[in-house]
Amino acid sequence: MTPYDLLVSPFVEFEFMRRALVGIFALSLGAGPVGVFLMLRRMSLTGDAMAHAILPGAAIGFLVSGLDLAAMTIGGLAAGLLVAVGAGVVARATEIKEDASMAAFYLVSLALGVMIVSLKGSNVDLLHVLFGTVLGLDDPTLLLVAGIASLTLVTLAFIWRPLVLECVDPTFLASVSRAGGVSHIIFLALVVMNLVGGFHALGTLLSVGLMMLPAATARFWVRDLTALVVVATVIAFVAGVAGLLISYYVGAPSGPAIILVAGAAYAVSVVFGPAGGVLSRLMPRRHLEA
C-alpha cells in the first residue's frame, strides 16, 4: 500500500472524511492561537472549566429543540459567558479566589448539563453531547466553525498588542492604557466561541483538548510568540488529520483519537523538545549560556 493510499485516499473517496478534515482545519485555525494565549496567561484550567460550563446551555437547547445547531450554539454561548462573568463577580465580591470560583461553577454546570441531557435523551444523545461527532459534520456546522475561526483571527489581529502586553507586564499595561480590561473580556468571548465550535465536533469533554495540548506542545519547540501560534496551529491540524486516519483504519472514536494523538505529541515534546524539554535541560550548557 502506497503512502497515497494510506494518507490521502480516505479523504478522496469519502465525503464525510473531507468534511471532517475541513472542520479540523477550521478548529485548528481558531483554537491554536487562543490556546497559546490561554497558556501564556496561566488560564489553561480556566479554559477547561469553561469547556464544561457551556454544557448546561447546550443541554437546554437540546431539551427545547433536540440536536438543533442554532439552539445548542446559542445555549452554549449564553451559558459559557454567564459562567465566566459569574465566576469573576463571585471572586471580586467575596474572599474566594477566581480559580476556586471557576471550579465550583464548572462542576455544577457539568452535572446540570449531564442531568438535562439524560432526562430527555438517550445514551446516544449523551455521548453526542459529551464527545461530539466530527465525522458527522454537516454544512451548517462547518459554516459555524469556519465563521468562528475567521472571527477569531480578525479579532486577535485587533487586540494582539494589549493581549501580549498583559501576558508580559499587566501592571505596565494598566498604567498606560485601559485596553487591558476590554481585551480580556473580548478574549474570554473568543474562548467561549471556540469552545462552542469545538463542542459540535469534539464534544464538551474534548473540545478544550485541541486548544491546550497543541499550545503546550509548541512551547517545548519555540519561544517566539508568533512562532508559538503558528506551530500550535500546525500541531492541532496534524493531530486532527492523524486522529481521523486512525479512526478510519482502526474504527476508534474520532474525537478521542485526535486528542490522544495530540497527547502523544505533547509526551514526545516533554522529553525531546529543545526549548525546555527533559533532555535539553539535562545536557550541559556552555559557560554563561542561559
Block means of pLDDT (10 residues each) for the chain, length 290 residues?
Answer: 83 92 94 92 77 81 78 86 77 73 78 78 66 83 93 93 81 70 84 88 82 93 93 96 93 89 95 88 64
Task: Check residue 272 and give its pLDDT.
Answer: 93
Task: Check residue 117 and give its pLDDT.
Answer: 74
67/97 Cα distance (integer angstroms): 36
CA distances from 93 to 50, 86, 87, 205 (A): 20, 10, 10, 30
147/138 Cα distance (integer angstroms): 14
Helix or strand or coil: residue 266? Answer: helix
18/69 Cα distance (integer angstroms): 20
Task: Check residue 109 and give its pLDDT.
Answer: 80
144/200 Cα distance (integer angstroms): 10
Task: Check residue 287 and give its pLDDT.
Answer: 52
C-alpha cell at 70: 442554532
Task: Check residue 286 and give its pLDDT.
Answer: 60
Domain locations in the chain? 3-282
Task: Check residue 34 and give its pLDDT.
Answer: 94
Residues 27/33/37/42 CA torsion (nearest 10 deg):
50
C-alpha cell at 144: 459555524
Q: Which fold has domain 3-282?
A: ABC transporter involved in vitamin B12 uptake, BtuC (1.10.3470)
Task: Check residue 188 and give its pLDDT.
Answer: 85
pTM: 0.87
